[in-house]
Chain A
């Protein structure tokens, strides 16, 4: 786990290649294994996303063959549940049943992300990817056209309601929790953080939502390979316009998703692991939905923050080699990660590049192992409460 970037890259390339070859038998030598979903890092639907990981998802009216395939859906291990722009779902929207709450009113959601919210109705759909289907799954349609974003939702941050602001046609949350809000939003909770709303016409108020009715990770509802996923992306030297990889369903359920010697990192109750950097401990997490290594601040790291066009990233005058160590609360074993940060303004100067393995930026008090971390690695994400050959989820392993 302390291998150099180059060595990891080679290992990653071999692992990716062998898994495809091993499972190609019986399906034609060129077809990917059945439990595999193609994923891509590219500029996304607006051709402006840096380190965006995308895939295609098919949604259908429950129990029917009335379906819509949606491309350019962001693959996000930092959230839970499927959210699609109503505009990308098109005419199918009207065929997806509206979820009704315990009070008899339509349920809407204000999904709280780090810097924004997405608002819209909770609908029920059959969701398919990698040859598996989650039947009658609660999903969110991102759509403020019928019921406007309520003030309590707007108070959290700007709403992202279209391709231009979202940079994607939707977000596929496949992190290790099953539901997006969890116990905090259930009727038994002492305090509701306000993910779910009950709406009468355009008048909406915060409502509780039972776990089974919350928007949730489709992987957990699949008939097989439902204990987690493996994200595999190749290592690359320098920036690139695009790369492809795979999301393998299941952990230890097939030849192509064996845990082998990967170290397991169970999260704390907030969904974080422990990362040490320069002798200090921080909350850390592995997140494909974060498009850089986002860690700490200029004062702690000594790395200059960018100004102007590359605001929100680090801009060191020359490349900086760093290392940080993730510590497993399960075994106490540690994994030191070496990484390099290159000036974002320099990286962004080539308009054709959208994949940046050396992109970094500040993140107050925390260590966010974003998409560059996943390049050249096989990263396992095990779903809460689901047994795997290693231990029950939730955990990350790599």
Chain B
């Protein structure tokens, strides 16, 4: 389910994927929109284990927190975190969204439309979607301005 089968990137380049099941040092995580080379403290904060998968047009840095939540950060060739996805217990979104967290909370609070579970907010640049149920929350967030060329937002899963 994670390797989204309909994703053209996955479909075209599956064989070319270089999968490195390695723990990185220093931890390769940053907040959404941040630079992967100025590494933030997500991994330490979330006490998570790490693996990295490199794709042709971006790399995916995956953390598994002790509580069993999987967090993926999508990093562009220039080193910017352009997208994040998560699955499991609700993660610390303040840590993951960084400066965009307040924007998320404001949009989520004001856009309480008729959707009764999960959320879909779009502030022009920041897009956040969540769904699931108690004990199993899925979500993803991305920045339009940071999306690399040829990457479909729906690849962020």
CB distance from A358 to the nearest CB of B (A): 14
Taking CB atoms, residues of chain B closer than 8 Å to A51 are 116
- Which residue of A has the minimal Cβ distance to B109? A158
Assuming the A-B contacts A112-B134, A365-B87, are A184 and B109 also in contact, with contact meaning beta carbons closer than 8 angstroms in the complex? no
Using a CB-CB cutoff of 8 Å, which residues 53-108 of chain B contact chain A? 65-69, 85, 87-95, 101, 104-105, 108
Contact at A154–B94, with CB atoms within 8 Å? yes
Assuming the A-B contacts A155-B94, A280-B5, A299-B154, are A191 and B47 also in contact, with contact meaning beta carbons closer than 8 angstroms in the complex? yes
A-side interface size class: 35 or more
Choose the segment among A243-251, A284-292, A385-393 that binds chain B (4+ C-beta atoms closer than 8 Å).
A284-292
Contact at A368–B132, with CB atoms within 8 Å? yes
Number of interface residues of B (CB under 8 A): 53
Q: Which of A78, A156, A190 contacts B133 (CB 8 A)?
A: A78
Contact at B92–A78, with CB atoms within 8 Å? no
Main secondary structure of the interface of A (DSSP, over half): loop
Docked pose: A375 CA to B124 CA in angstroms: 36
Contact at A283–B1, with CB atoms within 8 Å? yes
Docked pose: A157 CA to B102 CA in angstroms: 10
Interface centre among B1, B4, B101, B134 (most CB of A within 10 A): B134
Contact at B134–A80, with CB atoms within 8 Å? yes
Choose the segment among A11-19, A304-312, A319-327 that binds chain B (4+ C-beta atoms closer than 8 Å).
A304-312
Choose the segment among B12-20, B21-29, B34-42, B137-145 that binds chain A (4+ C-beta atoms closer than 8 Å).
B137-145
Taking CB atoms, residues of chain A closer than 8 Å to B2 are 365
Q: Which of A117, A167, A180, A363 contacts B138 (CB 8 A)?
A: A363
Q: List 12 A-B contacts (CB under 8 A).
A: A48-B114, A49-B114, A113-B117, A115-B118, A156-B91, A157-B108, A289-B116, A289-B133, A294-B117, A297-B129, A311-B121, A362-B131
| Interfacial residues, chain B to chain A (CB-CB below 8 A) | 1-2, 4-6, 47, 65-69, 85, 87-95, 101, 104-105, 108-109, 111-122, 129-140, 152, 154, 157
